[in-house]
Chain A
Amino acid sequence: MQPPDSPQPAVWAENLTRMFGDFTAVDAISVSIARGEVFGFLGANGAGKTTAIKMLTGLLAPTSGEARTAGFDITHQAEQVKKRIGYMSQKFALYDDLTVHENIRFFGGVYGLTNKQIKERMAEAIERLGLQELVKERVGRLPLGWKQKLAFSVALLHRPDVVFLDEPTGGVDPVTRRQFWEMIYDAAAGGTTVFVTTHYMDEAEYCDRISIMVDGRIAALGTPAELKDRFGVDSMDAVFVRLARGQS
């Protein structure tokens, strides 16, 4: 999937480690993700996914190891990293008491877009989501699925190099999830790297490559087909269960 003209990975980590006291939350993970790749980041709760994402987004300094996101060092260039990435969590994180329009204006402003850019991209996003009638509506009144699609559009507003999606489809119906994944493919086709965590194993199949974290380490990494092959099973679900239960 990696385009030949892309010398620099969108996300790159080598022996990235984070300890909390004696506890090693993330244990020397190494990964290289290409521009435009859809990368699935899997693991049971407590496996260290959240800590890894915090480091890759420049929120948390690593104890040891190195990483670059969007070409910038996550320890020393965290400010640049933050400008080049988008982020969306499972809580979809828009302001319920603000309108669609106001939310887009706010996040556009935070990412330093000009008024003109905000106007253009807002029109585009609204059009794509079919939200024309609801621009002046408070986000709190939108159905959950629309909120999430809107939140994703907002995370892409400043055209980030990498967008981090932390369980973006939690609690959404299958139809909306399908639409959401179409948006993910659109973004990837446009050159944005998508770094996504999920608990849905069918979604894992949609990714170009996936990694599975167990106890702070990356226990497996490859395309869904490769992983199923390696473990001799026919679904990602089975791969995940075998890894999460211990690699005996």
Chain B
Amino acid sequence: MKTPQPRGAFSAFVLKETRHILRDRQTLGVLIMLPFIMVLLFGFAIRTDVEDVRLVVVDASRDSRSNDLVRSMSSTRALQMVGVRSTITQVEPMLRTGEAAVALVIPTGFARSLENGTAEVLIMSDGINANFAATAENYVRVIVRSWAAEEGFGAPAVQMNARMRFNPTLASENLFIPGLLAFVLILISALMTAISLAREKETGTMEVLLVSPLRPLQIVVGKVVPYLALAFFNGVTALAVAWVVFRVPIRGSLVLLLAAILLYVLVSLALGVLISSRVPDQRTAMMTTLLGLLIPTLALSGFIFPISSMPGWLSPFSNIVPATWFILVARGIMLKGIGVALLWKEFLVLAGMAVFLILAASRSVKDRTT
């Protein structure tokens, strides 16, 4: 039953949307400044850098090697040695009370096992503050590893920490910034389209559009396309702030990272249209978008809390949060320098989300005719 659509209809719609955006100078100014301000503000405010980590060492071995390692621990600026004990039972209460944040346990026969390559150490940390614990643990690992390397053992005594390897400066920003980009971009992008569509409902123009020959899909895509340029520009701004101010590395391909940003803001814009297709006015659109995206993006995406430390039943929820996938891609490209060969799955998920959300939004636009 499909009839050919006049080609002019869609381009007329995009032109009209572009005019709306450019005409409202005040809003446009705010939208352009927002990512700049948000990244700067949050970047400084929520950094999870850990200083003065209180360390207790259990040296059960008491040989020359373990002495050496303990000395190397105490001479590190980031760590504050609060004591050396001889049994593991002595340190557990210290961790519980917070007297120490992390404990390094050197078992007996350390020097001997180091010679034959079977040395082990145990790092214990206070897991209540997951971020802090992870960072503290990483500090200790890095020091043990570099000590072992300096002593000429390679790294046989150390369990390698994959994350550490990519974050040698111990800066929390490096892990934090990709999440911050995800957070800032989804909020701004989704708000833009959500408010734009809700405004049409409020003024009554939505009715006219629905009665017109424009198809719901054209309305949705026509809303998204002009804002895509603005949202992408926001992404570039946010990335520039991260790079210039927080000196986050971009070890992989910049082009690939920009492609990820483009795809992610597309998902966010479509999400905004979907949300506003189900609410009556701009206020509700704004509140629903903010509340609906704020908590999942902060809590479930791996931005603040590592996904690995979430209870298992939460992981399906974390998988449907777009930010989860963008953060994986952004961390991969920025910190690990990996390319599309290892990230195609995440890209595919984001692309799938974009298609799904656009189709769901156009269905929803059609259903809600009031």
- Which A positions have Cβ atoms within 8 angstroms of B? 54, 57-60, 76-77, 79-80, 82-83, 85, 87-98, 102, 105-114, 164
Give Cα A90–Cα B6 distance, bound, in whole angstroms: 28
Q: Is the CB of A54 within 8 A of B214?
A: no
Q: Which A residues are in CB contact (< 8 Å) with B20?
A: 95, 97-98
Q: Which B residues are in CB contact (< 8 Å) with A102?
A: 16, 19
Q: Is the CB of A106 within 8 A of B12?
A: yes
Q: Point out the residue from B24, B208, B369 that lies within 8 Å of A93, measured CB to CB.
A: B208
Indicate if B205 sits at the interface (CB-CB under 8 A).
yes
Indicate if B203 sits at the interface (CB-CB under 8 A).
yes
Q: Is the CB of A112 within 8 A of B23?
A: no
Q: List 14 A-B contacts (CB under 8 A).
A: A59-B211, A79-B2, A79-B213, A93-B203, A95-B203, A95-B205, A106-B12, A106-B16, A109-B11, A109-B15, A110-B9, A111-B6, A111-B212, A112-B9
Indicate if B295 sits at the interface (CB-CB under 8 A).
no
Q: Is the CB of A89 within 8 A of B204?
A: yes
- Report if A79-B11 is in contact (Cβ < 8 Å); known contacts: A89-B208, A93-B207, A110-B213: no
Q: Which B residues are in CB contact (< 8 Å) with A85?
A: 211
Indicate if B45 sits at the interface (CB-CB under 8 A).
no
Q: Which B residues are in CB contact (< 8 Å) with A109?
A: 8-9, 11-13, 15
Give Cα A96–Cα B205 distance, bound, in whole angstroms: 10
Q: Is the CB of B1 within 8 A of A59?
A: no
Chain A contact surface mostly: loop
Indicate if B75 sits at the interface (CB-CB under 8 A).
no
Q: Which B residues are in CB contact (< 8 Å) with A76?
A: 1
Indicate if B210 sits at the interface (CB-CB under 8 A).
yes
Indicate if B169 sits at the interface (CB-CB under 8 A).
no
The CB with the most chain B CB atoms within 10 A, among A57, A90, A108, A111, is that of A111
Indicate if B3 sits at the interface (CB-CB under 8 A).
yes
Q: Is the CB of A98 within 8 A of B210?
A: no
Q: Is the CB of B12 within 8 A of A89?
A: no
Q: Is the CB of A89 within 8 A of B212?
A: no
Give Cα A95–Cα B200 distance, bound, in whole angstroms: 9
- Report if A77-B12 is in contact (Cβ < 8 Å); known contacts: A82-B213, A96-B203: no
Q: Is the CB of B13 within 8 A of A82?
A: no
Q: B1-40, CB under 8 A of A: which get 1 and which 0?
A: 1110110110111011001100110000000000000000
- Report if A110-B205 is in contact (Cβ < 8 Å); known contacts: A59-B369, A79-B3, A95-B20: no
Q: Point out the residue from B11, B205, B215 that lies within 8 Å of A94, measured CB to CB.
A: B205
**What is the minimal beta-carbon distance from B213 to any residue of chain A, in angstroms?**
5
Q: Is the CB of B8 within 8 A of A82?
A: no
Which B-chain residue is minimally distant from A76 (CB atoms)? B1
In order of increasing CB-CB distance, the 3 nearest A-B pairs are A109-B12, A112-B6, A91-B204
**What is the minimal beta-carbon distance from A79 to any residue of chain B, in angstroms?**
6
Known: A54-B369, A109-B8, A112-B9. 14 other contacts (CB 8 A): A58-B211, A59-B369, A77-B1, A79-B1, A79-B2, A82-B211, A85-B211, A87-B211, A88-B208, A96-B203, A98-B16, A102-B16, A107-B212, A109-B15
Give Cα A96–Cα B214 distance, bound, in whole angstroms: 20
Q: Is the CB of A110 within 8 A of B13?
A: yes
Q: Which B residues are in CB contact (< 8 Å) with A164?
A: 211
Q: Which A residues are in CB contact (< 8 Å) with B15?
A: 105-106, 109
Q: Is the CB of A97 within 8 A of B369?
A: no
Give Cα A231–Cα B78 distance, bound, in whole angstroms: 95
Q: Is the CB of A91 within 8 A of B213?
A: no
Which B-chain residue is minimally distant from A85 (CB atoms)? B211
**What is the minimal beta-carbon distance from A46 to any residue of chain B, in angstroms?**
14
**What is the minimal beta-carbon distance from A78 to any residue of chain B, in angstroms?**
8
